[in-house]
Amino acid sequence: MSDTDLMTRAGASCEFCGAGQGLAAVDVPPAGPVLLCDICRGEEDATAGHWRCLEGAAWSEVPAVQLAVWRKLGGLDEAWAA
């Protein structure tokens, strides 16, 4: 998928939290790429509350986003993420 196609699919926003800045593609094998912001890519510190965005992102119709959310939730040490 081209960067242009990915930006179009994601509506030029992070596919986890909806942020519009600091976006970059992240490959999620074997499903494909997702578009994430700096915080969701782990390049900036995030509060535990930030990851609540995954509750909505989990309902994405995009398999790569669903898989990325599932993997991220598995790595969080929060009762609500279990």
pLDDT digits (tens, 9 = 90+) for 5-56: 999 999 999 999 999 999 999 999 999 999 999 999 987 788 878 999 999 9
Count how many domains the chain has: 1
Residue showing tokens 């309902």: 59
- Domain region containing 46: 3-81
Whole-structure pTM value: 0.91
Residues 6+ apart with CB under 8 A from 76: 48, 51
